[in-house]
């Protein structure tokens, strides 16, 4: 696992210039032993100040480098807008926009080629967990990218987000999350054992100030992908502070 945890904020289709200012100001006192990533709507990227206290990320990119794709944003455009990371394969993209494993793989390749660090989101639905198919689902999502492109793993971050825990107030127990993270690391080792030992694997799914410390204490949990709580500057700061070494 990584020695330095990463706390990533996914604002989804929320936020404002006022929130940009509040979060930016709050993070000026962040401890240097934790990395912080903010992924706002793309329209807000340029409103963040350049800061040594946090990095910026996009929530999605096109699978195309450029061209006649109205409404899409390429990896290069988002890099110029200030992003250095990008979330890919989030369950909401898979569910609402029918993104397939193959499409996610294509986007991840675009991200790395442009110089963005992809945060690959994976996870199972409630039905899949109840059918005890969690490992099969995750193995398939990982294989779709790294079985054919193992060289991309060293440039990636992984985010495990059980779909049943996103925005529901329900979170996997620390023990459940650790067991799945350990499985993910073992699967990644099939493709690049050295990279698998170092890659940061984040937990996401109703992470908040009350449950984050127990999650961060687990051996294979290297940080968090935070949704709703990241829109509350004080609570997000508490989560970041809980992740310091």
Residues belonging to the active site = 90, 161
67 is in an annotated binding site: no
12 marked as binding residue: yes
Whether residue 2 is annotated as binding a ligand: the answer is: no
What are the DSSP calls for 103-159, one per residue?
HHHHHHHHHHHHTPEEEEEE---HHHHHTT-HHHHHHHHHHHHHTT-GGGGGG-EEE
123 in a labelled binding site: no
Q: At what angle do helices 174-189 and 134-146 cross, to 10 degrees?
A: 40
Judge whether 51 is annotated as a binding position. no
Q: CB-based burial of residue 18 (10 Å sphere; 0-12 exposed, 13-18 middle, 19+ buried)? A: exposed
67's CB contacts (< 8 A; 6+ apart) are none
Q: Enumerate the known binding-site residues for substrate.
A: 10-12, 167, 206, 227-228
Q: Enumerate the known binding-site residues.
A: 10-12, 167, 206, 227-228
């Amino acid at each position: 696992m990584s020695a330095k945890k990463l706390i990533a904020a996914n604002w989804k289709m929320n936020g404002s210039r006022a929130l940009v200012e509040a979060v930016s100001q709050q993070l000026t006192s962040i401890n240097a032993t934790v990395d912080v990533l903010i992924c706002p709507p793309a329209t807000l990227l340029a409103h963040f100040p350049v800061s040594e206290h946090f990095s910026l990320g996009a929530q999605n990119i096109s699978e195309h480098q450029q061209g006649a794709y109205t409404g899409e944003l390429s990896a290069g455009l988002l890099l110029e807008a200030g992003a250095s990371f990008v979330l890919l394969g989030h369950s909401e993209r898979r569910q609402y926009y029918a993104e397939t494993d193959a499409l996610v793989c294509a986007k991840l390749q675009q991200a790395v080629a442009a110089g963005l660090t992809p945060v690959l989101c994976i996870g199972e639905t409630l039905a899949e967990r109840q059918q005890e198919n969690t490992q099969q689902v995750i193995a398939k999502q990982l294989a779709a990218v790294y079985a054919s492109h193992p060289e991309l793993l060293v440039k990636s971050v992984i985010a495990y987000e059980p779909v049943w825990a996103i925005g529901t107030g329900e979170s996997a127990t620390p023990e459940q999350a650790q067991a799945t993270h350990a499985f993910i690391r073992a699967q990644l080792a099939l493709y690049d054992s050295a990279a698998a030992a170092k890659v940061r694997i984040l937990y996401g799914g109703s992470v908040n100030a009350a449950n984050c410390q127990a999650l961060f204490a687990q051996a294979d949990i290297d940080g968090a992908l935070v949704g709703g709580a990241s829109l509350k500057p004080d609570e997000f700061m508490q989560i970041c502070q809980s992740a310091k070494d």
